[in-house]
Amino acid sequence: MHLKRLLVALVVVPALYLYIKYVPPLFFFVLIALISYLCLLEFLSMYKTNLLARHMFSLFGMIPVYLTYKYNDIPISAVIAVFLLISVIRLYGKKTADNAIFDLAPYWTGFFYIPFVLSYFVKLRAIGTELVISLLVIIWVADSFALYVGKAIGRRKLYETMSPNKTVEGAVAAIIGAVLSTLAMKAVYCFTIPAVKAVFIGVVLGIFGIIGDLVESMFKRDAGVKDSGVILPGHGGLLDKMDGMIFSAPVLYYLILYF
């Protein structure tokens, strides 16, 4: 398992770095739109939604990413359109009204949880490629610290009902890893922020990375699955790799804007 993780990382990480760093904004939008489609598809698959409906809605979910790329915003009209679409999907997908609100919930939750939030990667890329690269490094380092420290010395459960394998020791290690990698990114890219501010950003991103991980674990336990998918050997689904970043991307964006 660890060998598979390492091999995937050795291939994916350099390719992703080069892609983010050097491709034009249009191609970065295409990447995020594709990730949005695949993650939303995994999410809806976990809840065993209608096959055709989940593919159609996942394609539709790429629109918020496009609107962010084009206008740097998602208008309220797009949110209304999503509500109308999922209502129509439910109306004609089943012939009874039983459990209608529960049938709508995966689509509605998935829209805000995945494409709506992933669009913040496009916002970050518009400010600078180094922000996207830094966020990926920070969250991946934090995840690695949590995994290996948790396995080595983890004793106290962090939130057993949601994620029985996560420990307090692993969570503390994740925050330390996030802080260290934030300071490293500050040095690499010569970010003109005080070290204290960088430490604060690292702590916040580390915490929200953990929260993102726990939220996805909550959804998986609710759906009765271990992994969101099998797209990445040794890593589970794509959503399993994006969970911490999904929460951290908007947090980093607003920290940059207002902090």
pTM comes to 0.91
The distance between the two most distant Cα atoms of the chain, rounded to a whole number of Å, is 60
**Percent of the chain topping pLDDT 90:** 63
Q: Which of 6-15, 82-91, 123-132, 216-225 has the lowest mean pLDDT?
A: 6-15
Q: How far apart are the first and last CA of the chain?
A: 40
Confidence of residue 232 (pLDDT cuts 50, 70, 90): low
Question: What average pLDDT is seen over the chain?
Answer: 90
Residue spans per domain, the chain: 2-258
Give the pLDDT of residue 14: 86
158 to each of 4, 163, 219, 227, how far by Cα in Å? 27, 8, 17, 19
- 235, pLDDT greater than 80: no
Give me the residue label for tokens 């770095």. Answer: 17
Q: Please state, in angstroms and rounded to a whole number, the distance separating the CA atoms of residues 87 and 104.
A: 7
Structure tokens at 83: 């509500």
Give residue 99's region: left, alpha or beta (phi > 0; psi -120 to 50): left
Structure tokens at 33: 């739109």
Neighbours of 106 (CB within 10 A): 24
Please tell me which residue, 9 or 126, carries the higher pLDDT value: 126
Structure tokens at 173: 């290690």
Which residue in 27, 193, 25 sits closest to 124, CA to CA? 25
Structure tokens at 160: 């057993």
Which residue in 113, 73, 111, 79 sits closest to 253, CA to CA? 73
Kindly report the length of the chain.
259
Q: Please state, in angstroms and rounded to a whole number, the distance separating the CA atoms of residues 153 and 86.
A: 46
pLDDT tens sequence across 155-199:
899 988 998 889 999 999 999 999 999 999 999 998 989 999 999
**Torsional sign, CA 178, 1, 216, 246:** positive
pLDDT tens sequence across 103-160:
889 999 999 999 999 999 999 999 999 999 999 999 999 999 999 999 999 889 998 8
Residues near 83 by Cβ (< 8 Å), separated by ≥ 6?
108
pLDDT tens sequence across 68-77:
999 988 888 8
